[in-house]
């Protein structure tokens, strides 16, 4: 007869388990009740804070609320060393890996999850609020009318791709969510103003009237924080608008229902002329 003896199990219950927990948005209170409980009951707790900016996140306060020491892992440890420290921990006991937003928007973490499963480590996910649904929620635009999402890179990596995605979505009447590139650890963030200027440059070459000074757009700053900022206007009213602190993002609406233009007027200070855009 096999006797269960917790003494053999070291500090914890020694499940070979890796739980990916979304931190949600903005600060240490963005995590769900269930996600925090996973960290409280873990043997090892890791966290990354580089794939997305959590402007008001305080590590000490988080450690206090979960009662665990948290090991913050760098981009290098995850991408060059393939997260071996996390996998090694997961083979010893219950390991929680905390990730900004919802865990698998960043493809790096998908690789880690595949590696874990291939190594006989069970994985689970506790979801968190994602910046993507937050931006869409804030805007009042209808979720099912968004096409492909695109990231607008820094000028040194810029290409015509974002312009082409916006073009393609508009032809189908769809909205485009543009995430703006960031290097959270280097505190570099593309702004709405820079992003719009980059797209206007492409416009000047292509001349397809996709992003002109008269194109409607919605700039969003600090989605998920206590002070989100939204401004809907034609590009000429956005390009010099001060959105304040990062992170920023940008929406190019496609065809809008009148409830959507009303939402942009009520929530994002759109000019009344936006009513004429509704169909």
Smallest distance from the beta carbon of 136 to a second copy, in angstroms? 7
The set of residues, in sequence order, having a beta carbon less than 8 Å from that of 64 and lying 6+ positions away, is: none
Smallest distance from the beta carbon of 38 to a second copy, in angstroms? 10
Nearer CB in complex with a second copy: 106/238: 106
Separation between Cα atoms, residue 266 and residue 260, nearest integer Å: 10
Nearer CB in complex with a second copy: 225/239: 225
Smallest distance from the beta carbon of 2 to a second copy, in angstroms? 26
Smallest distance from the beta carbon of 5 to a second copy, in angstroms? 27
Separation between Cα atoms, residue 60 and residue 57, nearest integer Å: 9
Nearer CB in complex with a second copy: 10/245: 245
Kind of pairing, strands 17-22 and 122-126?
parallel
Secondary structure element (H or E) that encloses residue 267, with its range: helix 258-268
Which two three-digit tokens encode residue 135?
């931006």
- Binding residues (CB under 8 A) for a second copy: these are 22, 24-25, 27-34, 36-37, 65, 102-105, 107, 110-111, 113-114, 117-118, 124-125, 127-130, 132-134, 136-138, 140, 142-151, 168, 172, 174, 224, 226, 228, 259, 262-263, 266-267
Separation between Cα atoms, residue 259 and residue 145, nearest integer Å: 13
Which two three-digit tokens encode residue 271?
């000019």
Smallest distance from the beta carbon of 189 to a second copy, in angstroms? 19
Nearer CB in complex with a second copy: 116/239: 116
Nearer CB in complex with a second copy: 10/34: 34
Nearer CB in complex with a second copy: 150/229: 150
Nearer CB in complex with a second copy: 149/193: 149
Separation between Cα atoms, residue 134 and residue 140, nearest integer Å: 10
Smallest distance from the beta carbon of 214 to a second copy, in angstroms? 25
Secondary structure, 3-state, 38-80: HHHCCCEEEECCCCCCCCCCCHHHHHHHHCCCCEECCHHHHHH
The set of residues, in sequence order, having a beta carbon less than 8 Å from that of 277 and lying 6+ positions away, is: 216, 253, 256, 261
Smallest distance from the beta carbon of 270 to a second copy, in angstroms? 12
237, 212 in Cβ contact below 8 A?
no
Pick the closest to residue 116 from 137, 88, 94 (CA basis): 88
């Amino acid at each position: 007869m096999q006797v269960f003896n917790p003494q053999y199990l070291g500090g914890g219950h020694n499940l070979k388990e890796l739980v990916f927990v979304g931190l949600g948005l903005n600060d240490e209170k963005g995590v769900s009740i269930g996600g925090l409980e996973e960290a409280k009951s873990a043997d090892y707790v890791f966290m990354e804070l580089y794939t997305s900016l959590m402007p008001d996140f305080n590590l000490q306060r988080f450690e206090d609320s979960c009662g665990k020491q948290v090991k913050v892992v760098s981009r290098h440890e995850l991408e060059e060393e393939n997260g071996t420290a996390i996998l090694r921990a997961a083979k010893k006991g219950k390991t929680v890996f905390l990730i900004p937003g919802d865990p698998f928007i960043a493809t790096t973490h998908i690789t880690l999850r595949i590696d874990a499963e291939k190594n006989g480590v069970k994985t689970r996910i506790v979801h968190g609020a994602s910046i993507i649904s937050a931006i869409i929620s804030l805007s009042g635009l209808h979720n099912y009318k968004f096409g492909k999402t695109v990231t607008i890179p820094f000028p040194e990596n810029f290409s015509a791709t974002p312009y082409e995605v916006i073009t393609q979505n508009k032809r189908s009447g769809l909205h485009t969510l543009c995430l703006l590139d960031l290097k959270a650890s280097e505190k570099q963030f593309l702004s709405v103003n820079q992003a719009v200027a980059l797209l206007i440059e492409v416009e000047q070459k292509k001349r397809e009237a996709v992003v002109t000074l008269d194109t409607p757009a919605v700039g969003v700053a600090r989605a998920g924080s206590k002070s989100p900022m939204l401004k809907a206007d034609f590009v000429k009213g956005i390009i010099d608008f001060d959105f304040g602190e990062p992170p920023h993002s940008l929406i190019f609406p496609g065809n809008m229902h009148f409830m959507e233009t009303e939402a942009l007027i009520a929530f994002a200070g759109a000019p009344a002329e936006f009513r004429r855009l509704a169909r």
